[in-house]
Amino acid sequence: MSYTFKGVSPSPELLRDTAFIAGDWVSAADGRTFAVTDPSCGEIIRHVPDLSREDTRKAIDAAHAAQKLWADETAETRADVLRRFHDLVMKHQEDLARILTAEMGKPLQEARGEITYGASYLLWFAEEARRVYGDTIPAHRKDARIMVLRQPVGVVAAITPWNFPSAMPCRKFAPALAAGCAVVFKPAMETPLSALALAALGERAGLPRGVLSVITTSDSRAFGAEVCENPLVSKLTFTGSTQVGRLLMAQAAPKIMKLSMELGGNAPFIVFDDADVDAAVDGCIQSKFRNNGQTCVCTNRIYVQDGVHDVFVEKLTEAVARLNVGSGMDPRTDLGPLISEAACDKFETHIADAVEKGARILTGAPTRLPQGTFVQPTVLSGLSSDMLVATEETFAPLAPVFRFSDEDEVVRMANDTEFGLASYFYANNLNRVWRVAERLAFGMVGVNTGLISTAVAPFGGIKQSGFGKEGSKYGLDDFLTMKYVCLGGIA
C-alpha cells in the first residue's frame, strides 16, 4: 500500500524515488534501495536508491567536466539560473513543505517557513554572483602591476543532516553555484526526498548537466571517503556532529582539502534582571522549541538571574504546557515527532539524569507518547553543572533552567563548553549588552531575540562548532580562491 499524504499530495514530479547524477535520474546498478519513513507513524513514504561509492565517483567525474563550463558562463547567466531556481521553489512551496513534513515531521506551517528561508539563500546568492570582485594593488616597482583575482574553487562535495532537509541544501547549493562551482551532494539518509525535489527544480531552472548531483546512500562512510580522497574534489562543506566533522577532517588532511565545518552546539540563553521577562519567555520558546528542539542553534541551557528567576520559570512553564504535540500535518500542532527512537532515548536519559541529581519536572513527562516518536515538551528547574544537560546537546524539547547571581558568573558558565556556535541573552542595560555580547565566546549572539538565522548574516561558529560562514557577503569566500597576478615589464 502506497503512502497517503494527509490533505493535498505533492506534485508527483517532485516526489522522486530515483537519485540525480550528471543530469540523469537513476536507480542503483544493483537495484538496492532504502526506505524513507514518516517519523510520526513509521509508515514508509518512498524507497530511494542506495547508491555505491562508484556512483559517487561518476557524479564527481561529471561535475569536474561540467564545472569548467559553468565557471566560464557570465555571472549574469549564473545569477539568472539561481533566480529562476528561487522562483520555482517558492512556486512549489506547498509541495516542498508537504514532502518535508512527511519525511522529517515538523509542523506544516514551520515547514513552509523553512522553504521560504532556504529559498532566500538562492535569491541572495543570485545577486552576490554578480559581485565576485577582484582588486588592483599599487605595485612595488614602476614596471609592475598587481591584480587579485577571485576564482571558483572547483568541485564541491556537500553533506547535510536531517533537521533542515530543504534549507540546508539551499545554503550549500546557492553560494557554490553562484561562485561557479559544481556540487555533489549527499542528503541525510532519513530525509533525502526534499533534496531530490530541489534537484528537480534546479534542473527545471536551467542548471547544466553535471553541475548538481544528489547522491542517496546508506553508506555515509563510503561517500565521505570518496570525496575526501578523490583528487577532483576541491572542497567539502559539512553540517553535522563534531564527532563526524573530526573524522572528515582527518580523511581530508592528506589532500589538504578546503573545508567548511558547521558542527555541534550547546547554546546558552541568559535572562538578566533588567530584561523584559515576557519578551524573554517568547524568545526562549522560539529558540528552544523551534523544530522541536532539533536545531544546532537551539537553546540548550537557560540561565536566569535571581531577581526574575521565579517569574520567568512560572511564565515559561505555562507557555510550554500550552504547546500541542502531534502530527505535523495537523494545523493544531506546535511540535511534531522527534526524528528517531534514539532521539527519544537521549531525551529520556537527560531527564532521568537531571532528576536523579535533584532537578524537578515542572511540566511535561519523562516518557514518550504511545505512538510514533513523540515526547512531551518539558521544563526542568533546580539544575546543577554536573548534569548531562549542562554539557551535552539534547536535541529535543527539553528546557533546563539554571539560576545565577551575577554577570561574571553566568558568562563563565555560558562559555564553559567546547562548543561555540550560537548564544542568546536578554538585557536592557546598554552597558551590559555591549559587555556580554563581546565576552560570549560564540560565533553568533542573539540579543533580545531568539531567532537569528537569515541569509543576509554570516552563519557559523568557533571552537569545536567548526569554521567557515554561510550566508551574507562573506558566504562566497569559502567557494573561491584568491589569485595574485603580477604583471611585469610594463614601461
For a pLDDT cut of 70, what percent of the chain falls above it? 99
Q: Which residue, among 243, 242, 237, has the nearest Cα to 259 in the 3D structure?
A: 237
Q: Is the separation of the CB atoms in 389 and 383 below 8 Å?
A: yes
Q: Is the separation of the CB atoms in 82 and 129 below 8 Å?
A: yes
Virtual torsion, Cα 192, 195, 199, 200, nearest 10 deg = 70
pLDDT number for residue 2? 80
pLDDT in tens, 357-396: 999 999 997 667 777 899 999 999 999 999 999 999 999 9
| Sequence ranges of the domains in the chain | 19-263+466-483, 267-454
The three grid cell numbers given for residue 311, joined into one nine-digit string: 517569574
The three grid cell numbers given for residue 179, joined into one nine-digit string: 561562485
Q: Is the separation of the CB atoms in 101 and 107 below 8 Å?
A: yes
pLDDT number for residue 253? 97
The set of catalytic residues is: 262, 296
Mean pLDDT (the chain, rounded)? 97
Residue 203: other Cβ atoms inside 10 A: 18
pLDDT in tens, 426-436: 999 999 999 99
Straight-line distance from the first to the last Cα atom of the chain, in angstroms, rounded to the nearest whole number? 79
pLDDT number for residue 365? 77
CATH of 267-454, one of 3.50.50.60, 3.10.20.30, 3.40.309.10, 3.90.600.10: 3.40.309.10
pLDDT in tens, 92-135: 999 999 999 999 999 999 999 999 999 999 999 999 999 999 99
Q: Is the separation of the CB atoms in 214 and 185 below 8 Å?
A: yes
Residue 166 pLDDT > 70: yes
Q: How confident is the model at residue 70 (pLDDT cuts 50, 70, 90)?
A: very high
CATH level 2 (architecture), domain 19-263+466-483: 3-Layer(aba) Sandwich (3.40)
Q: How confident is the model at residue 341 (pLDDT cuts 50, 70, 90)?
A: very high
The three grid cell numbers given for residue 309, joined into one nine-digit string: 528567576
pLDDT in tens, 453-462: 999 999 999 9
pLDDT in tens, 277-321: 999 999 999 999 999 999 999 999 999 999 999 999 999 999 999
Residue 457: other Cβ atoms inside 10 A: 15
pLDDT number for residue 346? 96
